[in-house]
Amino acid sequence: MENLKGKTALVTGASRGIGGAIAQRFVDEGANVIMPSRNEMDLADVASVAQYVQAHANVPLDILVNNAAINPMTPLDEITPELLKAFEEVMTVNLESPFLLSIGFAPGMIERGGGSIINIASLWGILGRGNRALYSMSKHGLIGMTESLAQLLGPQKIRVNAVSPGFVGTDMTYQNLRPNQIEDIKQGTPLGELVPVGHIANAVLWLASAESGYITGQNIVVDGGWSNVGRIAPPK
Ligand SMILES: NC(=O)c1ccc[n+]([C@@H]2O[C@H](COP(=O)([O-])OP(=O)(O)OC[C@H]3O[C@@H](n4cnc5c(N)ncnc54)[C@H](OP(=O)(O)O)[C@@H]3O)[C@@H](O)[C@H]2O)c1
């Protein structure tokens, strides 16, 4: 299949994990895929993002996937320099940089008649999570940004959507969850396993392709049913 033949896509955080799978899927579908490394564009540094956008203003971008994010485990019990630093870094990488990339590349997309922006959000963008408050706040913001930009850019034929993965077996998940927690998640998921990364790539591919041409402002949850009909492990 060559669903994206002739299209140019930029995927952030494509060095590994979900971003790597999305980029590979796009290549398999015939797209020209740009995967800026952290050295080329540091998403924790808005000056670096602005500079990257300026230097690539002539790239004929059709698809932007804001995938990269961080999810640090920061103590939330008092105001410390560490907390302030983590707040700023999470909001910059997870929310501000996706916003700057979206509005930075939108004019070029408009010139070519439209495009598709896909933001990788999270279950923690629709549900709160106490000990991951910074991450959850940033992802709720990303979904708000998705809806707002969908309204703003729809008239210029840029569609803006989000994909919210459940628990995917990437570095982020294995760093943050203990084996017994991962087992509980599998037990509490109707489809019975962590989300296969290829299924996130499938949803993103669909939102990037013409087949989803009348879909905008949506958040597609890909979690095997955990968030709406799961969570409680079936009796053994
Ligand atoms: N894994 C899950 O279960 C899960 C669940 C829900 C949502 N998500 C979301 O899915 C997306 C991808 O997650 P993942 O699990 O694949 O993450 P990951 O394995 O931790 O990979 C993160 C990616 O982001 C890049 N990155 C981080 N900080 C950066 C910075 N300052 N500048 C440039 N690049 C930076 C990393 O680059 P380096 O290689 O240079 O570090 C890496 O490519 C994220 O938005 C995450 O919130 C994941």
Please provide the DSSP assignment of 100-115 as one string.
HHHHHHHHHHHHTT-E
pLDDT at 156 over 60: yes
Assess if residue 84 is contained within a domain. Answer: yes
Q: Is residue 226 part of a domain?
A: no
pLDDT higher than threshold 90 for residue 186: yes
Task: Give the chain's mean pLDDT.
Answer: 96
Atom of ligand 1 nearest to the CA of 124: 6
> For tokens 């979900």, what's the residue?
18
C-alpha–C-alpha distance, residues 169 and 179, integer Å: 12
The domain of 186 spans 8-221
Q: Is the pLDDT of residue 175 over 90?
A: no
CATH number at residue 170: 3.40.50.720
Catalytic hit among 52, 135, 174, 214: 135
In angstroms, rounded to a whole number, what is the distance separating the alpha carbons of residues 216 and 158?
9
Q: Is the CB of 129 under 6 A from ligand 1?
A: no
Above 70 in pLDDT, residue 82? yes
Q: What is the pLDDT of residues 44-78, one digit of tens each?
A: 999 999 999 999 999 999 999 999 999 999 999 99
For a substitution probing ligand 1, which of 67, 181, 221 has the most ligand atoms within 8 Å of its CB? 67
Is 233's pLDDT higher than 70? no
Residue 234: per-residue pLDDT: 56
For residue 129, tell me if it sits in a domain. Answer: yes
User: Is residue 165 within 8 Å of residue 223, measured between CB atoms?
Assistant: yes
Q: Tell me which residue has its CA closest to atom 44 in ligand 1.
A: 69
- Whether the pLDDT of residue 235 is over 60: the answer is no
Domain membership flag for residue 151: yes
Question: Which atom of ligand 1 lies at the shortest distance from residue 135's CA?
Answer: 47
Catalytic annotation present for 135? yes
Please state the domain count of the chain: 1
How confident is the model over 119-140, as pLDDT tens digits? 999 999 999 999 999 999 999 9
DSSP 172: H
Q: Is residue 234 part of a domain?
A: no
pLDDT of residue 102: 98
Kindly state the helix (H) or strand (E) to which residue 8 belongs, with its residue range.
strand 8-11
In a domain, 138, yes or no: yes
Of all residues in the chain, the percent with pLDDT exceeding 90 is: 92
Ligand 1 contacts CB of residue 62 (under 6 A): no
Low-confidence winner among 4-8, 148-152, 199-203, 231-235 (lowest mean pLDDT): 231-235
Within-domain flag for 121? yes
